[in-house]
Amino acid sequence: MMKKIIYQWIAALIFILPLQVLADVVVVVAKGSPITSLSENQLRQLYLQGSGRIAGNSVKALDLPEDSSTRKEFYLAAVGKTPAQMKSYWARMIFTGRGAPPRMVSGDRAMQVMLENNPELVGYLPGNQVSSGLKVLYRLP
């Protein structure tokens, strides 16, 4: 009986641990982008302004859909705000004319395609969704 329980725990860990590794959120750009690194502060500013400059290059941020769990994880880690707080933030910014939110794409695959084809875009994806046409600039904690 005890051995069976131990084996069940081991089996559960074998399946759960890889999912945790795959769930990491990374910030990515096109492989051909001149941007090679991104600081935590630059990332935060980019997603609070919708666009900006990184290493002298003009960039625009992309966003996953509002109901995306990756988006929720991203904003909590990168900006320290929930999706509801971000929605409220952008409503105020738009109302006062001080900015526009990042362009929203339909999902992970759309994010990949947009980023691969435009070196001026910055986006985020689950670590297991990074294609060979993208490079990772930042890994969220």
SS3 category, 122: strand
- Whether 18 maps to a domain, the answer reads no
Q: How many domains does the chain have?
A: 1
What are 59-75's pLDDT values in tens digits? 999 999 999 999 999 99
Residue 13, in any domain of the structure: no
Tens of pLDDT, residue by residue over 124-137, are 999 999 999 999 99
Position 33 in a domain: yes
What are the angstrom distances between the C-alpha of 112 and each of 19, 21, 82?
Answer: 20, 20, 24
108 lies in some domain: yes
Instruction: Tell me if 135 is assigned to some domain.
Output: yes
- Let me know if residue 63 belongs to a domain: yes
pLDDT band at 9 (very low <50, low <70, confident <90, very high): very low
What is the domain-level CATH number for residue 112? 3.40.190.10
Q: Is residue 127 part of a domain?
A: yes
pTM greater than 0.75 (yes/no): yes
- For the segment 4-14, the average pLDDT, to the nearest whole number, is 48
| Residue 7 belongs to some domain of the structure | no
pLDDT at 16: 44
Domain that holds residue 39: 24-139
Q: Between the CA of residue 87 and those of 45, 66, 99, what are the distances in Å?
A: 16, 9, 13
- pLDDT tens digits, one per residue of 85-131: 999 999 999 999 999 999 999 999 999 999 999 999 999 999 999 99
